[in-house]
Amino acid sequence: MTNPAPDNTRDRLLMQAELLFAQKGFAAVSVREITAAADSNLAAINYHFGNKMNLYLSVFKERWVPRAYGVRKFFKGTLSEKSNPDTSDMVRAFATAFLEGAMTEDERRCHINLMLRELTHPTEAVNIVVSEVIRPMHHDIRELIRPSLPETVNLEQLTLSIFSIISMILYFEFARPVVSLVMNQEFDLQFKSRVIDHIVSFTMDGINGINGIKDIRGLTKEETV
Amino acid sequence: MTNPAPDNTRDRLLMQAELLFAQKGFAAVSVREITAAADSNLAAINYHFGNKMNLYLSVFKERWVPRAYGVRKFFKGTLSEKSNPDTSDMVRAFATAFLEGAMTEDERRCHINLMLRELTHPTEAVNIVVSEVIRPMHHDIRELIRPSLPETVNLEQLTLSIFSIISMILYFEFARPVVSLVMNQEFDLQFKSRVIDHIVSFTMDGINGINGIKDIRGLTKEETV
DNA sequence: TTGACATTCAAACGATCGTTTAATACAAAC
DNA sequence: GTTTGTATTAAACGATCGTTTGAATGTCAA
């Protein structure tokens, strides 16, 4: 998209600010660092956005939210290609939209880091994140999955499951270095694809599904103890 | 434990520094803020720890790691009470050690926030976190669960499953405000207990287990579509 | 009482922070 | 050509940052 430096100062500031805020967090980035990266004058942030905090909020309004819409659109687009998507198709489409499609690698790191910072460390921007993206996304997925579950399904448990799917997606993105360290495994495209497979099978069948073997549950314990 | 203010300056600094670093992050906390909270002189940090970064590392070495050992001990203790623990007992013991036992609420928030900051934003301390805690904990759980799975189990998939369990535990702690917002549900003790139940059943059976109904898998889809 | 050592203290250091100011450049409108 | 308004610039503002200093404590051993 707007990968090459935009020709106007305001957009260049937004772009570089997003990169730096995602990398280091609000407090650890100085306006001098941002304006230098954006090849603009030190006073440019205060001229275009009033102050540093307002620039941070504008990053969410003008860059983060639109990209989140893109992820949602990609998710729905993938699903609409399938004729009769089941639950595992939905989970796969959701994980893929976040971890593979819809964004470049840099955008993804940006996007998820910014989101995580607001989750762990909420500022004013958390209201934007929740009301514009997280809540609608939950609604989407819940209403997609619900028909394929028993009518007696506990709505709270379903919502917690959606949070669990999101937790895995976020974790395997932001904790990449640690996952790589512990598993002694480079986080390349092949591995990422296996991670998505894992998220889908773990979501569908839990730890009993990790071997691709179904209906073995209940047997294993007595056999091996 | 050391909840009331320790009588020596060094420990008071460590305690207040941990609280503040967990709340705001390294860059957002000033040494003046820490020394004021610890009722000590501005120069105390540099006298006792050399500099601010070394204080941060000492927090991990002298407070975070010991508490992590406590969590691990609690986990093993809970398991040893059971005569023949199965996989779900292990997952429950693990989630409980993190989310209910072994720590006060304040300590838990501290502990998980500090860990998360190192996962998202590694400093020197990430080496301590991984080598002293995350890797040994993975080893513990993997070797506990492995015997109750088929011999043909894929070790990579098992490790990814353990990461997934950890991701849920972390998420339901650090994203509490967002979970509460989206579900319109106060994060009280009853709810937390249901969250632990969810983590266990989701880990055991995935989304098909969320209703507490087992062995319905494979039926639901055809019936409702 | 004296000396040695560990700790605390007020004060100041230079550096960097976010923000403001006033002058300047440049375009389109009249 | 003058005016008007927007955008950019260099320079400086006061505040706060992490760190250092040297004097003032308190505490034991000799």
pTM: 0.89
Higher pLDDT, B13 or A6: B13
Residues of chain B in contact with residue A161, where contact means CB-CB under 8 angstroms, are 198, 202, 207, 210
**Length of chain B counted residue by residue:** 225
Question: What average pLDDT does the segment B27-55 reach?
Answer: 97
Question: Which amino acid belongs to residue B210?
Answer: I
Q: Which run of H or E residues covers position B196?
A: helix B189-205
pLDDT band, residue B216 (cuts 50/70/90) = very low
Nucleotide with C1' nearest the A29 CA: C17
Q: What angle do CA B213, B216, B219 make, to 5 degrees?
A: 145
pLDDT band, residue B24 (cuts 50/70/90) = very high
Residues of A numbered 94-123 whose beta carbons fall under 8 angstroms of chain B's beta carbons: which are they? 113, 116-117, 119-122
Q: Classify residue B51 as left (phi > 0), alpha (psi -120 to 50) or beta.
A: beta
Q: How far are the Cα atoms of A187, A206, A214, B86 from residue B147, in angstroms, in the given order?
A: 28, 17, 18, 10
Question: What is the per-residue pLDDT for B1?
Answer: 46
Length A46 CA → D3 C1' (Å)? 27
Question: What average pLDDT does the segment B73-99 reach?
Answer: 93
Interface test with B, best of A52, A160, A193, A199 (most B CBs within 10 A): A160
Q: In chain A, which residues have pLDDT < 50?
A: 1-2, 213-225
Question: What is the per-residue pLDDT for A224?
Answer: 36
Question: Which amino acid belongs to residue A152?
Answer: T
Measure the CA–CA gap between A156 and A137, rounded to whole angstroms: 16
Decide if A68 contacts A111 (C-beta within 8 A).
yes
Question: What is the per-residue pLDDT for B207?
Answer: 84
Alpha-helical segments (H) within chain A: 9-24, 31-37, 44-49, 52-59, 65-81, 87-99, 105-120, 125-128, 135-145, 155-174, 176-183, 189-205, 219-224
Expressed in percent and rounded to 5, the helix, strand and coil fractions of chain B are 75, 0, 25
Question: What is the per-residue pLDDT for A210?
Answer: 63
Question: What average pLDDT does the segment B133-152 reach?
Answer: 89
Which of B138, B182, B206 is nearest residue A130 as measured by Cβ atoms?
Answer: B182
Measure the CA–CA gap between B187 and A115, rounded to whole angstroms: 21
**Average pLDDT for chain B:** 89
Structural domains in chain B, CATH included, are 60-211 (1.10.357.10)
> Phi first, then psi: what are they for A197, rounded to 5°?
-55, -45
Question: What is the per-residue pLDDT for B205?
Answer: 85
Residues of chain B in contact with residue A87, where contact means CB-CB under 8 angstroms, are 207, 221
Lowest mean pLDDT of A41-50, B1-10, B179-188, name the range. B1-10
**D chain positions with any atom within 7 Å of a protein CB:** 7-12, 16-22
Q: What tens digit of pLDDT does each residue of B197-214 get?
A: 999 999 998 887 765 444
Q: Is the pLDDT of residue B181 over 60?
A: yes
Q: Classify residue B208 as left (phi > 0), alpha (psi -120 to 50) or beta.
A: alpha
User: b/e map of B90-103 (b: 16 or more CB within 10 Å)?
Assistant: bbbbbbbbbbebbb
Measure the CA–CA gap between B145 and A123, rounded to whole angstroms: 40
Question: What is the per-residue pLDDT for B6?
Answer: 77
Which of B172, B181, B213 is nearest residue A150 as measured by Cβ atoms?
Answer: B213
CA-nearest residue to B153 within chain A is A211
* Residue ranges near strand C (C-beta within 7 Å): A 29-33, 42-43, 45-46, 50-53; B 8-10, 40-44, 47-48
| Other C-beta atoms lying within 10 Å of the C-beta of residue A58 | 20
Question: What is the per-residue pLDDT for A213?
Answer: 40
Which residue from A194, A108, A168, A94 is spatially nearest to A137, judged by alpha carbons? A94
